[in-house]
Amino acid sequence: MKRARATLFILLLPFLAIAQDKPAAQQNWQLTSPLDYQVVQRDAKNRGSIAIAGRLTEADGKPAAIEARIVSEKKSGDWQRLDAKFDTTGFRAVLDAPAGGWYRLDVRASNAGKLLAETSVAHIGVGEIFVIAGQSNSANHGEEKQTPLTGRVVAFDGRKWQLANDPQPGASGGGGSFIPPLGDALATRFDVPVGFIACGIGATSVREWLPKGVSFPNPPTIESRVRRLPDGRWESKGEAFESFVARIKQAGPRGFRAVLWHQGESDANQRDTTRTLPGKLYRDYLERVIRDSRRDIGWDAPWFVAQASYHVPGDESSPDIRAAQAALWKVGGVLEGADSDALKGDLRERGGQGVHFSGKGLREHAARWTEKVAPWLELQLKEHP
Which residue in 7, 27, 11 sits closest to 117, CA to CA? 27
Residue 17: predicted pLDDT: 36
Show the domains of the chain with their CATH numbers.
28-125 (2.60.40.10), 127-383 (3.40.50.1110)
Residue 21: predicted pLDDT: 40
Distance CA 40, CA 74 (A): 20
Q: What is the mean pLDDT of residues 154-181?
A: 98
The per-residue DSSP string of 165-234 comes to PSSPTTSS-SSB-SHHHHHHHHHHHHTS-EEEEE---TT--GGGGSPTT-EESS--S--TTEEE-TTS-E
Hey, which residues does 153 pair with through a beta bridge? Answer: 194
Q: What is the mean pLDDT of residues 245-252?
A: 97
Distance CA 103, CA 123 (A): 5
* Residue 303 CB neighbour total at 10 angstroms: 25
Q: Between these two residues, 3 and 68, which has the higher pLDDT value?
A: 68
Chain-centroid distance, C-alpha 151: 16
Distance CA 268, CA 254 (A): 33
What share of the chain in percent tops pLDDT 90? 84
pLDDT band at 385 (very low <50, low <70, confident <90, very high): confident
Q: What is the mean pLDDT of residues 365-370?
A: 98
Three-state SS at 293: helix
Q: What is the mean pLDDT of residues 208-236?
A: 98
Q: What is the mean pLDDT of residues 207-235?
A: 98
Average pLDDT, the chain: 92
pLDDT in tens, 262-291: 999 999 999 999 999 999 999 999 999 999
pLDDT in tens, 97-109: 999 999 999 999 9
Determine which helix (DSSP H) or strand (DSSP E) holds 86, and give its type and residue range.
Answer: strand 85-86
pLDDT band at 247 (very low <50, low <70, confident <90, very high): very high
Residues with Cβ within 8 Å of 236's Cβ and at least 6 positions away in sequence, in order, are 207, 208, 209, 210, 211, 212, 213, 214, 216, 225, 226
Structural Rg of the chain based on CA atoms: 25
Q: What is the mean pLDDT of residues 142-161?
A: 98
Q: Return the amino acid letter for 259.
A: V
Residue 295: predicted pLDDT: 98
pLDDT band at 167 (very low <50, low <70, confident <90, very high): very high
Judge contact between 190 and 375, C-beta under 8 A.
no
Q: Using the predicted structure, report yes or no on whether residue 310 has a pLDDT greater than 50.
A: yes
Q: What is the mean pLDDT of residues 212-224?
A: 98
Q: Using the predicted structure, report yes or no on whether residue 19 has a pLDDT greater than 80.
A: no
Kindly give the pairing relationship between strand 65-71 and strand 100-111. Answer: antiparallel
Q: Using the predicted structure, report yes or no on whether residue 88 has a pLDDT greater than 90.
A: no
Judge contact between 54 and 30, C-beta under 8 A.
yes
Hey, which residues does 229 pair with through a beta bridge? Answer: none
User: pTM for the complete prediction?
Assistant: 0.92
Distance CA 310, CA 319 (A): 10
pLDDT in tens, 61-86: 677 899 999 999 888 999 999 999 98
Distance CA 227, CA 235 (A): 6
Q: Using the predicted structure, report yes or no on whether residue 320 has a pLDDT greater than 90.
A: yes
